[in-house]
Structure 1
Amino acid sequence: MTHDGEGVGRVDGYTLFVPGALPGERISARVTKQKKQYGYAELDELLTASPDRLNPPCDIYEECGGCQLQHFDYEAQLTWKRQHVIDNLTRIGKLTVAGDGEDGGIVVHPTIGMENPWRYRNKAAVPIGTASASGELVGGFYERGTHRIIDMDDCLIQHDRNDEALRVVKRIARYLRVKPYDETTGEGVLRHVMVRTGFVTGEIMVVLVTNGQRLPRQPEWIESLRAELPGLKSIVQNVNERNTNVIFGDETRTLWGSDVIYDELDGIRFAISARSFYQVNPSQTIALYGKAVEYAALTGNENVIDAYCGIGTISLFLARKAGHVYGVEIVPEAIEDAKRNAALNGVENATFEAGPAEVVIPRWRKEGATADVIVVDPPRKGCDSALLETILKMQPERVVYVSCNPSTLARDLRVLEDGGYRTVEVTPVDMFPWTSHVEAVVSIHRINK
Structure 2
Amino acid sequence: MAKHRINTFKPAKKTRPQVHPQTIELTIESLADDGRGVGRHQNKVVFVSGALPTEVVMAKITRVHKRFDEAELLELLETSADRNDPICEIYEQCGGCQLQHLQYAAQLKFKRSKLEKVLSANSASAVSVAEISADDRAYRHRARLAYSDGVLGFKARASHNIIALEQCPLLEDSLNTTLALSKTAIQGFLGDKARAEVSFTADRDGRVAILIRKDGYVDIKRCEELSASIVAPAFLHSVIGSKGPEWLGANSPLQYNTANSVALRYQAGDFTQVNARVNQQIVELCLKWLAPQAGELISDYFCGLGNFSLPLAKAGAEVMGFDAGEKMINSANQQALDYGLSASYFCADLFDDTAISIPANCRKVILDPPRAGAKALCEKIAAHKAVTHIVYVSCDPATLARDLAILRQAKFKIVEAAMADMFPHTYHVESAVLLQR
- TM-score tier by shorter-chain length is 0.7 to 0.9
Residue 121 of structure 1: aligned partner:
140
Residue 7 of structure 2: aligned partner:
none
Q: Confirm or deny: 8 A CA contact 1:128 1:180 kept in the other structure.
A: no
Residue 237 of structure 2: aligned partner:
235
Specify whether residues 361 and 263 from structure 1 end up closer, same or farther in structure 2 by C-alpha distance, changes over 3 A only. farther
| CA distance in 2: counterparts of 1:380 and 1:66, whole angstroms | 17
Instruction: Give the Å deviation of 1:214.
Output: 1.5
Task: Give the counterpart of 1:347 among 316, 327, 340.
Answer: 340
Instruction: Give the Å deviation of 1:170.
Output: 2.5
Instruction: Give the Å deviation of 1:359.
Output: 5.8
Instruction: Give the Å deviation of 1:301.
Output: 3.6
Residue 250 of structure 2: aligned partner:
257
Residue 134 of structure 1: aligned partner:
none
Residue 71 of structure 2: aligned partner:
41
Instruction: Give the Å deviation of 1:386.
Output: 4.8
Give the superposed CA RMSD: 2.1
Q: Does 1:205 align with 2:232?
A: no
Q: Confirm or deny: 8 A CA contact 1:358 1:387 kept in the other structure.
A: no
For residues 46-70 of structure 1, the C-alpha deviation after alignment (integer angstroms, 9 at most, x for no partner) is 1111111001121000000111111
| CA distance in 1: counterparts of 2:406 and 2:352, whole angstroms | 19
For residues 167-219 of structure 1, the C-alpha deviation after alignment (integer angstroms, 9 at most, x for no partner) is 3333013445x3255xxxxxx3x501101101x22222110112134236222
Q: Secondary structure at the match of 1:357?
A: coil
Q: Does 1:271 align with 2:284?
A: no
Letter in 1 for 2:341: E
Percent identity between the two aligned chains: 30
TM-score under structure 2 normalisation?
0.87
Letter in 2 for 1:24: T
| CA distance in 2: counterparts of 1:363 and 1:13, whole angstroms | 47
| CA distance in 2: counterparts of 1:170 and 1:323, whole angstroms | 46
Specify whether residues 304 and 234 from structure 1 end up closer, same or farther in structure 2 by C-alpha distance, changes over 3 A only. farther
Specify whether residues 360 and 270 from structure 1 end up closer, same or farther in structure 2 by C-alpha distance, changes over 3 A only. farther
Specify whether residues 396 and 174 from structure 1 end up closer, same or farther in structure 2 by C-alpha distance, changes over 3 A only. closer
Q: Confirm or deny: 8 A CA contact 2:142 2:171 kept in the other structure.
A: yes
Structure 1: which 5+ runs fail to align? Answer: 97-103, 131-136, 182-187, 242-250
| CA distance in 1: counterparts of 2:352 and 2:136, whole angstroms | 39
Residue 16 of structure 2: aligned partner:
none
Instruction: Give the Å deviation of 1:259.
Output: 4.8
Task: Give the counterpart of 2:324 among 321, 330, 335.
Answer: 330
Aligned length: 405
| CA distance in 2: counterparts of 1:253 and 1:294, whole angstroms | 44
Instruction: Give the Å deviation of 1:277.
Output: 0.9
Q: Confirm or deny: 8 A CA contact 1:371 1:394 kept in the other structure.
A: no
Q: Does 1:179 align with 2:191?
A: yes
Structure 2: which 5+ runs fail to align? Answer: 1-30
Residue 139 of structure 1: aligned partner:
152
| CA distance in 2: counterparts of 1:110 and 1:59, whole angstroms | 33
Q: How does 1:260-409 map to 2 (within 5 A)?
A: 260-266=253-259, 267-344=261-338, 346-357=339-350, 364-365=357-358, 369-409=360-400
Residue 65 of structure 1: aligned partner:
95
Letter in 1 for 2:132: I
Q: Secondary structure at the match of 1:107?
A: coil
Letter in 2 for 1:167: A
Instruction: Give the Å deviation of 1:427.
Output: 0.6
Greater CA drift, 146-155 or 255-264: 255-264
Instruction: Give the Å deviation of 1:364.
Output: 4.5
Task: Give the counterpart of 1:442 among 430, 433, 437.
Answer: 433
Specify whether residues 406 and 351 from structure 1 end up closer, same or farther in structure 2 by C-alpha distance, changes over 3 A only. same
| CA distance in 2: counterparts of 1:35 and 1:210, whole angstroms | 37
Q: Does 1:217 align with 2:222?
A: yes
For residues 147-177 of structure 1, the C-alpha deviation after alignment (integer angstroms, 9 at most, x for no partner) is 010001100101122122233333013445x
Letter in 1 for 2:291: A
Residue 413 of structure 1: aligned partner:
404
| CA distance in 2: counterparts of 1:407 and 1:36, whole angstroms | 23
